[in-house]
Amino acid sequence: MSQKMFCFQCEQTAGCSGCTGNAGVCGKSADTAKLQDELTGALIGLARACGNNPKTKNTDQIIIDGLFATLTNVNFNDETIRNLIGRVNGEKTIVVPGCSACGSQCENTENYDMSKLWNDDEDIRSLKSLILFGIRGVAAYAYHAAVLGYKDEAVNNFFYKALSAISEDWGMEELLPVVMETGKVNLSCMELLDRANTETFGTPAPAEVSLSVEKGPFIVITGHDLYDLKLLLEQTEGKGINVYTHGEMLPAHAYPELKKYSHLKGNFGTAWQNQQKEFSDLPAPVLFTTNCLMPVKDSYADRVFTTEMVSYPEMVHIGEDKDFTPVIEKALELGGFAEDKVFTGINGGKTVMTGFGHGTVLGVADQVIEAVKSGAIRHFFLVGGCDGARTGRNYYTEFVRQTPSDTVVLTLACGKYRFNDLDLGTIGGLPRLMDMGQCNDAYSAIKVAVALAEAFDCGVNELPLSMVLSWYEQKAVCILLTLLHLGIKNIKLGPTLPAFVSPNVLNFLVENYNIAPITTPEKDLEEILA
């Protein structure tokens, strides 16, 4: 018999407080939630075991895999989660072989009971949740970097420290530094992934991307993993199959080593949470490479494929051999559209732009600085973050639409699909709306902000720059913690503040960083530009 769940790690959580029924709003069952808690408890046990014992060459990757698999909308498959639990427990046996034969349990190595966390004092639970959800986001970025052969020992070592801290009987004074360190480590991890991507695929350059789909067989690839896209492009080359990105894969069109493939045609679909409608009866397969998977509907269940840490019951999973033959065969079988199909973004636009990473923006820094000095650019807005289905997210579309013509809107992550097809015109020879890339490309925004602050000989908080962020899941948590680590203040956050942040912790953030919930576009714009 299925039992009740407790989960409040993402923004869509029921009643803005927590999913406590037989299934979460995301579609995750109570049984799956229990297994994810068991996996997390096992990871904490493994981390503690490594406190006094040397890890093996496999331990880091097992920790990262386990954390990544517990992100929202990544893994709905109980079998794969059980396998991960087995891997974690098996690794702990290798790290501390004597424990399996020991008749006396001890807290040094035993798996952690997550109910202790969920039933703890609300302030302690809040800070530990910030650490846990934050390192889940960091682990996703570390995973993508590792796929390309890039690792950072300091980042990997922090996972053990953070996991162990969750099991400690610590107060707020001891936990808060670990919360802030999570943001510091995430900055290093985003820098690592930025270097991995640019050194592997080239420096992103502005690209106009069509939202239409040409007739004939095609494949839609979604998620974040650029290496998976590269392998798919290699395996489909010359087969008469076009490839279209979806969701956070859109920025791939800006990378020289990816856009050189002529059959990488454009981007399909709008916001990721519209997939159940947009994939219905789609005459093409969809390959999920990372999070953003929603419960699969019968109307397209025969054409969904997963890889990496993504898994869903009964869907075909592409393993470590990365042989995409089943996806290719399904594309040829379905045949695609009989004629070219014109699609639009949420606001009716037929194309979108991407590729305005720090390499591009800083390449025209003199132009930007002169535009600010002359008064042509009055203000910069960073409007981005992780998107969700909540109706109130229309705020971001209206906010961007109402920004004055002498302002620039920088955006990144999947929240941009609310407005990235809007034509805001140009300013100082630059587009007023510039997509900087995926959620991890918050690093680009940080690089640009720091460079501008140096150019104007001021602090980042003194720049004519405001951050209006949407939050949905764990990657948004670690990015927010990075901004706090850097001392960045005056952030507007919404559409609701995280349910796991207690009133006392929220008051701390408001008092020390002036983080405020969004209100209305009109009111917030007036306040910012006053």
pLDDT digits (tens, 9 = 90+) for 256-314: 999 999 999 999 999 999 999 999 999 999 999 998 999 999 999 999 999 999 999 99
Rounded Cα distance between 286 and 294, Å, is: 12
Backbone angles phi, psi at 408, to 5 degrees: -115, 140
Rounded Cα distance between 142 and 526, Å, is: 39
Residue 1 has pLDDT above 50, yes or no: no
For residue 31, give both structure tokens.
């049984």
For residue 231, give both structure tokens.
């392998």
Contact 8, 126 (CB under 8 A): no
Instruction: Convert the pLDDT of each residue in 86-131 to its tens digit.
Output: 999 999 999 998 765 565 666 667 899 999 999 999 999 999 999 9
- Please tell me whether residue 313 adopts helix, strand or coil conformation: coil
- 16 pLDDT tier (thresholds 50, 70, 90): confident
**Which residues, 6+ apart, have CB-to-CB distance to 507 below 8 Å?**
none
Instruction: Convert the pLDDT of each residue in 376-423 to its tens digit.
Output: 999 999 999 988 877 778 999 999 999 999 999 999 999 999 999 999
The predicted model gives 45-60 an average pLDDT of: 96
Pairing of strands 430-431, 426-427: antiparallel
- 167 pLDDT tier (thresholds 50, 70, 90): very high
Which residue type is seen at 224?
A: H
The predicted model gives 182-201 an average pLDDT of: 98
Residue 2 has pLDDT above 60, yes or no: no
What pLDDT was estimated at residue 445? Answer: 96
Rounded Cα distance between 384 and 378, Å, is: 20
Rounded Cα distance between 400 and 390, Å, is: 18
- Please tell me whether residue 224 adopts helix, strand or coil conformation: coil
Q: What is the DSSP letter of 23?
A: B
Contact 467, 492 (CB under 8 A): yes
Question: Which among 309, 322, 333, 340 is positioned nearest to 233, based on CA atoms?
Answer: 322
Own/partner long-range contacts of 493-498 (Cβ < 8 Å, ≥24 apart):
493/469, 493/517, 493/518, 494/392, 494/395, 494/469, 494/470, 494/518, 495/11, 495/390, 495/392, 495/393, 495/395, 495/470, 496/11, 496/16, 496/390, 496/392, 498/11, 498/471
> Residue written as tokens 């007023």?
432
What pLDDT was estimated at residue 105? Answer: 61
The predicted model gives 489-514 an average pLDDT of: 92
Name the least confident of 8-12, 286-290, 422-426. 8-12
| Residues 138, 143, 145: CA angle, nearest 5 degrees | 100
